[in-house]
Amino acid sequence: MSGQVAISGKAQVPELGRVGQTSSAAGSDAALIAAAVSGAEAAFRELFRRHTPHLLQFVTRVLGSSSGDAEDVVQDTWVRAYPALVTFRSESSFRTWLCSIGLRAALDSMRRGRRHIAGELFDDDASSVPPATEDRMDIESAIARLAPGYRMVLVLHDVEGFTHEEIGSQLGIAPGTSKAQLFKARRVMRALLTGREKNNERRQ
Amino acid sequence: MNDDNEFELTTEEQEMLSSLRREREPGDLLEERVVRALRRDGHFGSARPSSRTLGKLTRIAAAVALFAGGVATGRYLIVPDAPQAAAATQPASVAREASQKRELPIPASGEMIVAETELWL
């Protein structure tokens, strides 16, 4: 029974799971995707409810910004993802696929907002030096304080579990660059977590 | 030269990273915003009628207008002045009656017979 979805505009949607429930619940992602592709709005809404909480957290962390910006990026992500659902081949998990679209939407948002021009994100800029602070930070704040290029690589690798090859592919950089960025990102994050002063870092 | 191991995550850091929240509930309106945006792009049941429906409605409206126009034109062209039509097409007795109603001089019966015969031919 689970996963049986009629392919029509008024497709019967698999029994809806709770928000955040995984795809093992009634109605697999694949069945919901098939129904959504055929135009079933209810199936799309269920996909949305199932995956948006993780997507929103991921985008918020990548942007290091307010939830308002993050919701705009999540909206952009779904608007991009829906027409592309037909191309989803289940080679990766739907969550990973959606996050990769979310990452591109976040990058575009940052570039549109002129916060960072293209190519600047992964420059070896002065932001590798942690800001002056005596206060220890919680890890969420420390990640938010990282320079965008560092933050993205650290979130993708250390939080989401992407490999350097995958990160390189997603961000258009070499895997070696990803490794170097992660190295620096961890160093800055550690400084922020321990409240180490920037002078210590600058001596390095 | 930097030692890679220097910046391997410590156990404490790994625990902090793994304790990070993985989900964040979106605002109540986000779902509707997304669905509306997709509808605007022509997905799902768009609120506006599709171009196919619009075409069908246009064809029906054109057919109705054409029919109404034809009826109006037909009435205007085919139905002449009523007394003249009666005189031309009705039998002599009826024509006479019509003429009397209009207080016209009654034609001689011979003339009416000739007129009637011409109509038959």
List the one residue out of A34, A6, A150, A170 whose CA is nearest residue A90: A34
Please report which confidence band the pLDDT of residue A111 belongs to, taking 50, 70 and 90 as the band edges. confident
| Vertex B73: Cα angle to B69 and B77 (nearest 5) | 175
Q: Are A144 and A64 in contact (CB under 8 A)?
A: yes
Q: Scan residues 97-116 of B and list those with Cβ closer than 8 Å to A.
A: none
* Residues in Cβ contact with B51 at an 8 Å cutoff, skipping those fewer than 6 apart: none
Q: Is B69 a residue whose pLDDT tops 90? A: no
Please report which confidence band the pLDDT of residue A15 belongs to, taking 50, 70 and 90 as the band edges. very low
Smallest CA–CA distance from A81 into chain B, residue: B38
Q: Are A106 and A160 in contact (CB under 8 A)?
A: no
Identity of residue A139: I
- ipTM score of the complex? 0.74
Q: Is B49 a residue whose pLDDT tops 60? A: no
Q: Is B60 a residue whose pLDDT tops 60? A: yes
Whole-prediction pTM? 0.64
Q: What is the pLDDT of residue B3?
A: 45
Determine the structural domain holding residue A156 and report its residue range.
126-202
Please report which confidence band the pLDDT of residue B8 belongs to, taking 50, 70 and 90 as the band edges. confident
Instruction: List the single residue in B4, B9, B33 with the smallest CB-CB distance to A158.
Output: B9
Q: Are A155 and A58 in contact (CB under 8 A)?
A: yes
Please tell me whether residues A81 and A152 are part of one structural domain.
Answer: no
Helix, coil or strand: residue A40 = coil
**Tokens encoding A94:** 């739907």
Q: What is the pLDDT of residue B38?
A: 96
Q: How far apart are CA B94 and CA B91, in angstroms?
A: 5
As a residue count, chain A comes to: 204
* Interface membership of B17 toward A (CB under 8 Å): yes
Helix, coil or strand: residue A124 = coil
CB A75 to CB B27 under 8 A?
A: no
The answer to whether position A21 is within a domain reads no
The domain total for chain A is: 2
CB A41 to CB B45 under 8 A?
A: yes
Please tell me whether residues A103 and A35 are part of one structural domain.
Answer: yes
Please tell me whether residues A100 and A151 are part of one structural domain.
Answer: no
Tell which of B12, B22, B34, B46 to mutate to test the A interface (max A CBs under 10 Å).
B34
Percent of chain A exceeding pLDDT 70 equals 70
Q: Are A42 and A68 in contact (CB under 8 A)?
A: no
Please tell me whether residues A99 and A138 are part of one structural domain.
Answer: no
The answer to whether position A183 is within a domain reads yes
Across A140-149, B3-12, B15-24, least confident range:
B3-12
Q: Is A79 a residue whose pLDDT tops 90? A: yes
For range B55-72, the mean pLDDT: 85
As a residue count, chain B comes to: 121
Please tell me whether residues A106 and A158 are part of one structural domain.
Answer: no
Q: What is the pLDDT of residue A161?
A: 92
**Tokens encoding A36:** 């959504």
Q: Which domain-ending residue is among A112, A140, A158? A: A112
Q: What is the pLDDT of residue A183?
A: 94
Instruction: Kindly report the CATH number assigned to the domain that includes residue A170.
Output: 1.10.10.10
The answer to whether position A7 is within a domain reads no
Q: Is A21 a residue whose pLDDT tops 50? A: no
Q: What is the pLDDT of residue A77?
A: 97
Q: What is the pLDDT of residue B96?
A: 63
List pLDDT tens digits, range A114-148. Answer: 555 445 566 555 455 555 555 667 899 999 999 99
Q: What is the pLDDT of residue A110?
A: 87
The answer to whether position A5 is within a domain reads no
* Interface membership of A172 toward B (CB under 8 Å): no
Instruction: Kindly report the CATH number assigned to the domain that includes residue A81.
Output: 1.10.1740.10
Identity of residue A11: A
**Tokens encoding A168:** 């390189």
Please tell me whether residues A34 and A108 are part of one structural domain.
Answer: yes
DSSP state letter for B2: -
Helix, coil or strand: residue A172 = coil
The answer to whether position A4 is within a domain reads no
Phi, psi of A53 (to 5 degrees): -55, -40
The answer to whether position A118 is within a domain reads no
Domain boundaries, chain B: 50-79, 81-121
CB B37 to CB A79 under 8 A?
A: yes
